[in-house]
Each structure stands twice: as structure tokens, then as C-alpha cells.
């Protein structure tokens, strides 16, 4: 294991993050506040409670998940796409590093950024609503797994993308709708039965549900399913990364 190389990649990527720290900090704070204003105040005045939790608190786990997923994807996909785009990837390809080490460096940095943003949102949310976390360890574990698996997913997108448009395509067309329809802002028990069934095909439902369970002790689907879903998603991403490595797909001609 070339730990120095992993460290070098990680540091280099984190430096990019720190260069735009203010932006990285302000935008989640602002968007969280806006969500609270729009969803919390406007909708929350009609829906007082969901499953015994105040609506404002109820949406917090979903909000965190939404940002963590999109940030993990965008950080990791951009992180590896940019060197491809400007040509500095030559250095990674000619360095004595394995593809696995490259993945750890990039995914580790993207996951760290996502984790930072998730934490900022949690802190911001705590200013608006009373929050009690019933299973803090499970909460941290879910958060970490989401950060890592979605960073892996973002890394795959970054390898696959051949233009900035493509880079935005998957997050915009697939991830955002799945997250919005994944019960981030409502409990799926509030949906008509047909939609409840359809929703169960949305993997994000399991993540949000599991994450929410760690806060309030209640879930839309059983926690075992949630764990299985995130493990399966991580496994699929790892498999794809391994395939990319084997075939040199879109990186090594």
C-alpha cells in the first residue's frame, strides 16, 4: 500500500475544498435555512406532526441525506473528472499507485467533504428545531456509509463522464428526483397505497428511512432492509470500480 500516495491525493483534493471553504460552508447553511422556511414554516403550519415528531424535526434527516448525497456525488465526480479534463491524469496513471489507492484518495476526500456538509446542516438545523438523536452511533454509521457509497458512485460518474454536461446528467436526472421522492420530506405512509409500493423500488427510501430511524426510533421500512440496501449499493459501486480498474475504462487508452 502506497500510503504516502493516498495521503498526497487526499491532501490535494482537500486543498481544493479549503480554497472554497466559505462557499462550501455558506451554501449548505443557506439552503438548509431556506428549506426550513419553505417546508418547515409553510408546510409545517399544516402538518403539525408526522408519526409523533414535529414536522420541522422530521425533515432534518432527509435534508441532511439530500445534501450529503448530492455533495458526495458532485465532489467525487468532479474530483476525478477534472484531472481527465485538464490532462493532469497523466500523473496518476504514471505514478506507482494502484487504482485502488487512487480510489481511496479521491473517495476519501469526497466523503470527508460530504461529511463536513452533513455536519454543518445538522448544526444549522439544531438552531431551528429541537433535535434529539436516539441512536447517535447508528446515525454516524449511516451518515458515514452514505458519504462513502455516494462518493464511490460519484467517482464512477466522473470516470464515465466525457463532458461537463454528462457530469451533471446523472445527479440531475436520477439522483435528485430519487431523493425528493424518497421520503425526505414526508413519510411514505402518507402516500396512496399504489405509490407506497412503487416507492419501495427507490433505493433512497431505505437510506432516508434508516437514517431517520437513528434520530427518532421510527422508520418507514425495517432497519434491516435499510442496512441491506446501503450495503448492496456500496457493493455495486465497488464492483463497478473494480470493473473500471480491470478494463481501464475511459482512463487508460
| Cα 80 to Cα 76: distance, rounded to the nearest angstrom | 6
Q: Is residue 81 exposed (0-12), middle (13-18) or buried (19+ Cβ within 10 Å)?
A: buried
Shorter beta-carbon distance to other proteins: residue 49 or 91? 91
Shorter beta-carbon distance to other proteins: residue 12 or 160? 12
- The minimum distance between CB 1 and other proteins, in angstroms, equals 10
- The minimum distance between CB 12 and other proteins, in angstroms, equals 5
| Cα 152 to Cα 188: distance, rounded to the nearest angstrom | 27
3-state class of 201 per DSSP? Answer: coil
Best CA proximity match to 223, nearest among 208, 237, 201, 202 = 208
- The minimum distance between CB 147 and other proteins, in angstroms, equals 24
Q: Residue 16: CA atoms inside 13 Å, Cβ hemisphere, count?
A: 17
Kindly tell me the sign of the dihedral angle through the C-alpha atoms of 3, 5, 7, 9: negative
- The minimum distance between CB 89 and other proteins, in angstroms, equals 8
Shorter beta-carbon distance to other proteins: residue 95 or 129? 95
| Cα 244 to Cα 7: distance, rounded to the nearest angstrom | 22
| Cα 46 to Cα 80: distance, rounded to the nearest angstrom | 44
3-state class of 54 per DSSP? Answer: strand
- The minimum distance between CB 246 and other proteins, in angstroms, equals 12
Report the Cα–Cα distance between both ends of the chain, in Å, rounded.
25
Shorter beta-carbon distance to other proteins: residue 243 or 252? 252
Shorter beta-carbon distance to other proteins: residue 87 or 193? 87
Neighbours of 161 (CB within 10 A): 21
Shorter beta-carbon distance to other proteins: residue 4 or 41? 4
- The minimum distance between CB 39 and other proteins, in angstroms, equals 36
- The minimum distance between CB 82 and other proteins, in angstroms, equals 8
Cα 109 to its chain centre, rounded Å, is 13
Where along the sequence are the contacts to other proteins (CB under 8 A)? 2, 4-5, 7-9, 11-12, 15-16, 19, 82-83, 86-88, 90-98, 248, 252-253
Shorter beta-carbon distance to other proteins: residue 43 or 84? 84
Grid cell for residue 28? 449548505
Amino acid at each position: 500500500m502506497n500510503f504516502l500516495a493516498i495521503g498526497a491525493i487526499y491532501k490535494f483534493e482537500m486543498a481544493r475544498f479549503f480554497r472554497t471553504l466559505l462557499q462550501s460552508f455558506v451554501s449548505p447553511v443557506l439552503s438548509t435555512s431556506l428549506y426550513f422556511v419553505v417546508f418547515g414554516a409553510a408546510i409545517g403550519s399544516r402538518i403539525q406532526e408526522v408519526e409523533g415528531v414535529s414536522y420541522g424535526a422530521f425533515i432534518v434527516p432527509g435534508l441532511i441525506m439530500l445534501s450529503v448525497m448530492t455533495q458526495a456525488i458532485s465532489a467525487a465526480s468532479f474530483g476525478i473528472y477534472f484531472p481527465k479534463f485538464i490532462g493532469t491524469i497523466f500523473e496518476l496513471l504514471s505514478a506507482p499507485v494502484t487504482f485502488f489507492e487512487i480510489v481511496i484518495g479521491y473517495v476519501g476526500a469526497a466523503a470527508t467533504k460530504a461529511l463536513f456538509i452533513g455536519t454543518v446542516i445538522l448544526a444549522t438545523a439544531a438552531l431551528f428545531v429541537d433535535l434529539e438523536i436516539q441512536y447517535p452511533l447508528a446515525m454516524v454509521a449511516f451518515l458515514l456509509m452514505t458519504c462513502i457509497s455516494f462518493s464511490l458512485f460519484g467517482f464512477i460518474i466522473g470516470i464515465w463522464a466525457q463532458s461537463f454536461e454528462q457530469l451533471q446528467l446523472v445527479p440531475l436526472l436520477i439522483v435528485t428526483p430519487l431523493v425528493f421522492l424518497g421520503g425526505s420530506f414526508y413519510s411514505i405512509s402518507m402516500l396512496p397505497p399504489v405509490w407506497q409500493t412503487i416507492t419501495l423500488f427507490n433505493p433512497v427510501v431505505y437510506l432516508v428511512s434508516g437514517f431517520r430511524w437513528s434520530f427518532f426510533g421510527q422508520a418507514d421500512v425495517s432497519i434491516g432492509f435499510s442496512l441491506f440496501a446501503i450495503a448492496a449499493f456500496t457493493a455495486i459501486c465497488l464492483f463497478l470500480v473494480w470493473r473500471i480498474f480491470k478494463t481501464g475504462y475511459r482512463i487508460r487508452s
